[in-house]
Structure 1
Amino acid sequence: MKDQKVYPKSFSHIGITVPDLDKAVKFYTEVMGFYIIMPPTEVLEENETAIGQMCIDVFGKGWNSFRIAHLSTGDRIGIELFEFKESQPKAPEFNPFQTGLFHFSVQDPDVEGLVQKIVEHGGKQRMPIREYYPGDKPYRMC
């Protein structure tokens, strides 16, 4: 193992379960500017196709069907959205001290415009737009 090269891996995608796939696709395309790779599609629980078999491997048996869409950011990071009939629509609790997904980040040269669009569509602005290195570098975040 000493001679094996170590290098950083590329990030491929993240999967997010949503209560309304069509509404989520609209938000991530129209507000966040992501593009659609695969539009909302129904996947059935069956053993005849590779996708059916893979989903049984991952989710087990008894889910019957679900809907999925694949989106991508401009730098090719995938956003995989799932809608399961069994899902309970529940707003996530903001608790950064709890194990699990805390946040994800996007870059946009128009920070003000993107923050405004997110808030207009139900998102929450938790902090003002701030300079990350005030007076030194032009990086801003919110």
Structure 2
Amino acid sequence: MTTTKNYPKSFSHIGITVPDINKAVEFYTEVMGWYVIMEPSTIKKERETAIGLMCIDVFGDDWTEFEIAHLSTSDGVGVEIFSFPNGVKEAPKFNPFNTGLFHFCIQDPNIEDLIDKIVAYGGKQRMPIREYYPEEKPFKMCYVEDPFGIVFEIYTHSYELTYSSGAYTK
């Protein structure tokens, strides 16, 4: 086996499942400012198109249709929003200790206003805003939930800036 130098892969998109696709598109466009790339659409189970076959490969045969919308962040990361008619409509219990996706993180230098907007649209602030370097640098973070119970984090600064400065060394 030949080894070649590894290089960092870019993040393409994340998929989230919500109980109401139209409310989710409204929340993520109004609160996060994300762009709609594809309006909510219904995908039906069929074997005549590439998308139909791909969805059968991914979801198996135990479905008939679902809704999907595609959004994009300001830096081009895609957000696929799914809504399945027969799925559980409540968010799973938050348990970061189990294997699986724990959260995603977005970045906004105006963390206070964004949290106020999230709460105004039916989301929750899960903790106080915390500073990584109190009295040194204005790096802040906070965990929140969207109105559907999906937990995510907000940083005021980039991931690289936050951790390259030794966030846990003080």
| Percent identity (aligned) | 65
1:114 and 2:114 aligned? yes
Name 1:36's counterpart in structure 2.
Answer: 36
Residue 93 of structure 1 and its aligned partner are, at CA, apart by: 1.5
1:102-129, Cα deviation, whole Å (9 max, x unpaired): 2211111211110001111222212222
Residue 47 of structure 1 and its aligned partner are, at CA, apart by: 1.4
Give the unaligned 5+ runs of structure 1.
none
Separation (CA, whole Å) in 2 of partners of 1:65 and 1:94:
27
Separation (CA, whole Å) in 1 of partners of 2:83 and 2:36:
16
Greater RCO (Cα-Cα under 8 Å, separation 6 or more)? 1
Name 1:130's counterpart in structure 2.
Answer: 130
Q: SS state of the match for residue 107, structure 2?
A: coil
Residue 49 of structure 1 and its aligned partner are, at CA, apart by: 1.1
1:70-112, Cα deviation, whole Å (9 max, x unpaired): 1111111111011111111113312222222222111112111
Q: TM-score, normalised by structure 2?
A: 0.78
Q: Look up the equivalent residue of 1:136 and give its one-letter code.
A: E
1:4 and 2:17 aligned? no
Instruction: Tell me the number of residue pairs that the alignment of Structure 1 and Structure 2 aligns.
Output: 142
More strand by share: 2
Separation (CA, whole Å) in 2 of partners of 1:79 and 1:25:
10
Give the unaligned 5+ runs of structure 2.
143-170
Q: SS state of the match for residue 138, structure 1?
A: coil
Name 2:102's counterpart in structure 1.
Answer: 102
Separation (CA, whole Å) in 1 of partners of 2:63 and 2:54:
13
Name 1:69's counterpart in structure 2.
Answer: 69
Q: Look up the equivalent residue of 1:24 and give its one-letter code.
A: A
Name 2:17's counterpart in structure 1.
Answer: 17
Name 1:55's counterpart in structure 2.
Answer: 55
Separation (CA, whole Å) in 1 of partners of 2:85 and 2:115:
31
Q: TM-score, normalised by structure 1?
A: 0.92
Separation (CA, whole Å) in 2 of partners of 1:96 and 1:122:
22
Structure 1 residues 3 and 96, CA, compared in 2 at 3 Å: closer, same or farther? closer
Residue 3 of structure 1 and its aligned partner are, at CA, apart by: 4.6
